Amino acid sequence: MPQTEPASANSNAALSGTIAETRFPPKGEPQITGFNRIGLWSLYIKEIRRFLKVQTQTVWAPAITTLLFLIIFTVALGRGGREVLGVSFGTFVAPGLIMMGMMQNAFANASFSLLSGKLQGTIIDLLMPPLSWGELMIGIVAAAMTRAVMVGGTVAFAMWLYPGVEVGAAHVWAIVWFGLNGAALLSIVGLLASLWAEKFDHNAAVTNFVVAPLSLLSGTFYVIDNLSPAFEAISRVNPFFYLISGFRYGFLGESDIGNTDHAVMGAALGVFALNLVLGFLAYRVLASGWKIKS
């Protein structure tokens, strides 16, 4: 009588064959292909919640500080019915202050995430999730731009309530375009600064010696036509000048970029091109792992 193998032996043989045929992916090979929308959204929300937890410091305090600038300069320079570009001094300076607050806070937010992770040893929380370098960069930059918009909206509302200041919208496209491009530019610069910095002092140095001077010397409180030819030429190579003047054009319909609308359009395309160049540079530096991988 022929002998038959036990059923358990056949099952074990089949299982062994299945395991042998199973091929696990190589270590380190990403399993999520395409655009990781869920991961990007999670990073974005994480960054939003981070600065909203201390919104008194990250949103309201910058708005109050910017409003103090308006009060001081209107009291000191806006008396006697002084007009600039055909409007009162307070109305002239308000858009520049809004833009300045947006840019400084976009830089502050973008420069904090990676730097704090590097110093506290928690940067692995950003590097380990299944996010590409581009998705990581987009999440950080988008969150910084969101904070900039929040600060700008808060400052604009406060200035709309301030007596003697008229906050209107002559060209909405210019307000949106220059506002978002200005926030994006400083977000990218902040990301680059956080990659370079090894301590908070380095980051503060960029703020104090690069961002703040370029903001204050960009025509926020004056028109550059009143400057000497040498200083006017210097102002025209400052990208902050085009961002602030273009943003002001959106509110007032006037700017000191040029005498025609084509000059403002040229500035709009110029700042967008600058963002593309700096964005590509930031992506390449981030993808190289410079100062974030040991």
Within a domain: 13: no
Residue type, 5: E
Q: Is residue 2 part of a domain?
A: no
Domain count within the chain: 1
Q: Which domain holds residue 160?
A: 35-288
- Domain presence at residue 3: no
Confirm whether 100 is domain-assigned: yes
Is residue 226 one of the residues assigned to a domain? yes
Conformational region of residue 121, where left means phi above 0, alpha means psi within -120 to 50, and beta covers everything else: left
Instruction: Tell me the C-alpha distance between 180 and 187, whole Å.
Output: 10
Question: Backbone dihedral region of 87: left (phi > 0), alpha (psi from -120 to 50 degrees) or beta?
Answer: beta
Q: Is residue 18 a part of any domain in this protein?
A: no
Q: Is 268 exposed, middle or buried (0-12, 13-18, 19+ CB in 10 A)?
A: buried
Q: How far apart are CA 166 and CA 254, in angstroms?
A: 14
pTM of the model: 0.86
Is residue 111 assigned to a domain? yes
Task: Assess if residue 73 is contained within a domain.
Answer: yes
List helix spans (H) across the chain: 7-21, 37-52, 55, 61-77, 89-120, 124-127, 133-161, 172-196, 200-206, 212-216, 229-235, 239-252, 261-288
| Nearest CA-CA partner of 293 in 138, 106, 133 | 133
* pLDDT tens-digit profile, the chain (294 residues): 445 555 555 555 554 555 445 566 676 666 666 788 999 999 999 999 999 999 999 999 988 998 888 888 888 776 666 788 888 888 999 999 999 999 999 999 999 988 988 888 888 888 888 899 999 999 999 999 999 999 999 999 989 888 888 888 999 999 999 999 999 999 999 999 999 999 999 999 999 999 989 988 888 888 888 888 888 888 899 999 999 999 999 999 988 887 678 899 999 999 999 999 999 999 999 999 898 875
